Amino acid sequence: MRLAGKKALVTGSGSGIGQAIAIEFAKEGADVVVNYRGNPSGADETRAAIEKTGRRAATVQADVGITAEARRLVADSIAALSGLDILVNNAGIEKRAPFLEVTEQDYRSVMEVNMNAPFFLLRDTQAPGRIINISSVHEELPFPHFTSYCMSKGGLKMMMRNLAIELASCGITVNNIAPGAIETAINRKLLEDPKALAALNSNIPIGRMGKPSDVAHVAVFLASAEADYITGSTVVVDGGLLWNYSEQ
């Protein structure tokens, strides 16, 4: 198993991509802290799946957009597992609005969860190991009506590149995974709209949306010894969407 004996914290792991990563880590031998903000049943589901593999799991409620709670999350995770080797900054939110209608509160909410949280979580996770940020193709690709979201992911890209250099001497690698369109709750409306789904799939060379497992398998690789020499990189997981996208 590629992560045997490792201890991981995956933020926002009560559903979707985070849940898939947490479970895949456990299948590969890691003990995992499951973090959630407001979905305890989803976190319990993730925990049960982890324990079914024979690995240890702990659930910790924390709103990572609040810096004090993010810092508590790291401390509680270290206490629960007696250390941390892997941090996956998965929790993220988006708010749709034309630029001139974006509220200050929505802007701040997106930045606090998508940028502030990874920054402060990473600062408190100082042992040698792996940092994996779940970014988005929108760290590169414009997304009209989601300016704050794109800004947060672009900022996450530059944070990753800077810290890959600063933290290399500490034995810490820092990388991003940039998913494209993935079958998660955030895309529920799209999945229920056959016309919109067909239009999206026509923009994806592979011809389908991604699954959370497509991202989870890359996360396992980046967390493993196989990725010892990879840092400061974004791995795009999008079926070719980024370089083929056009507005319909």
CATH number of the structural domain spanning residue 68? 3.40.50.720
Distances (CA, A) of 3 to 7, 112, 217, 221: 9, 30, 12, 9
Packing angle, helices 117-124 and 67-81, rounded to 10 = 40
**CA-based nearest residue to 231, from 184, 170, 189:** 170
What pTM value is reported for the model?
0.95
Residue 245: inside a domain: no
Q: Is 107 one of the catalytic residues?
A: no
Domain that holds residue 160: 7-237
Q: What is the tally of structural domains in the chain?
A: 1
Q: Is the pLDDT of residue 247 over 60?
A: no
Instruction: Indicate whether 16 belongs to any domain.
Output: yes
Question: What pLDDT, on a 0 to 100 scale, did the predictor assign at position 245?
Answer: 67
Please pick, among 36, 107, 149, 245, the residue that the annotation labels catalytic.
149
Q: What is the pLDDT of residues 116-160, one digit of tens each?
A: 999 999 998 878 999 999 999 999 999 999 999 999 999 999 999
Is 242 part of any domain? no
pLDDT tens-place string over residues 3-56: 999 999 999 999 999 999 999 999 999 999 999 999 999 999 999 999 999 999
CB atoms within 10 A of CB 241: 22
Are β-strands 86-89 and 57-61 bridged in parallel, bridged antiparallel, or unpaired? Answer: unpaired
Residue 135 phi/psi, 5-degree rounding, is: -95, -130
The mean-pLDDT minimum among 153-162, 188-197, 217-226, 227-236 falls in 188-197
Tell me the pLDDT band of 243, cut-offs 50, 70 and 90: confident
Q: Write down the pLDDT at residue 21.
A: 98
In a domain, 248, yes or no: no
* Distance in Å from the first CA to the final CA of the chain: 44
The residue type of 51 is E
Residue in the structure block whose two tokens are 């690709």: 141
Is 1 contained in some domain? no
